[in-house]
Each structure stands twice: as C-alpha cells, then as structure tokens.
C-alpha cells in the first residue's frame, strides 16, 4: 500500500500563532483528504484536495500531486484547533482504500 508520512508528529502552539503541517505520500494518488479528529474522536472533514489549493476561513491546503506532498496551513490558531490532524490518500491503482498517516497532534495553548 501507499506510505503516508506526516510531520511534525507533535506540535505545541501559542494561541494566535500560525503553523504548517505536512503530508508526504509514496505513490500517485487519486484522492487526498485532510481531517481533524476532535477530542471526542470524531473525524471532521477539512479538505478534499487531490490537487491544487483550497481555503476555508483560517485554514488552507495545497496538494502538489506531482511531487507527492500536501500541506495544511493553520493561521491565527485557536484553542479549538487542538486535536489530531490526519492526511489520508487513495492511490490511483488501488481505488476505494484510503491510507492514513499517523497524524499530527496539535495542542494550542491559551
């Protein structure tokens, strides 16, 4: 299967700071999603972004499929941004099976 590596594994921010989370993947992908897993375990969709750039409020994401990476930007972080951020990819040769990274655990302190 596809190897998905996320960095950094852990991140501590002061409220108001900006951050960049990275997702590297080992093969060509058909699909890529970013999720935020809240403290109750719910996976919340952030971006469906197999390529290009999208923005949603303080969050934005960029996927460069040809170079096999995606970035998630969080600006002006808030304590409610805390949780684990997952990148998940679906390979072009292996439909219908998402591979997840191990996540970036974010702690935003007031």
Partner 1 sequence: GAGVSQTPSNKVTEKGKYVELRCDPISGHTALYWYRQSLGQGPEFLIYFQGTGAADDSGLPNDRFFAVRPEGSVSTLKIQRTERGDSAVYLCASSPDGQAGTGELFFGEGSRLTVL
The β-bridge partners of 105 are: 10, 84
* Binding-site string for partner 1 from residue 21 to residue 40, where x marks contact by CB under 8 A and - marks none: ---------xx-x-x----x
Question: Counting contacts by CB under 8 A, is residue 98 touching partner 1?
Answer: yes
Interface with partner 1, residue 90, by CB under 8 A = yes
Min CB(102)–partner 1 separation in Å: 5
Query: Which of 109, 110, 108 is CA-nearest to residue 21?
Result: 108
Neighbours of 25 (CB within 10 A): 23
What is the nearest approach in angstroms of partner 1 to the Cβ of residue 53?
17
Q: How far apart are CB 76 and partner 1 at their closest, in Å?
A: 26
């Amino acid at each position: 299967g596809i190897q998905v590596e996320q960095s950094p594994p852990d991140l501590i921010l002061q409220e108001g700071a900006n951050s960049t989370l990275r997702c590297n993947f080992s093969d060509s992908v058909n699909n890529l999603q970013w999720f935020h897993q809240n403290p109750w375990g719910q996976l919340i969709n952030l971006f469906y972004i197999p390529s290009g750039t999208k923005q949603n409020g303080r969050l934005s994401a960029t996927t460069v499929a040809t170079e096999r990476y995606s970035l998630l930007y969080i600006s002006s972080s808030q304590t409610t941004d805390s949780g684990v951020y997952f990148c998940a990819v679906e390979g072009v040769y292996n439909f219908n099976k998402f591979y997840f990274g191990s996540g970036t655990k974010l702690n935003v302190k007031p």
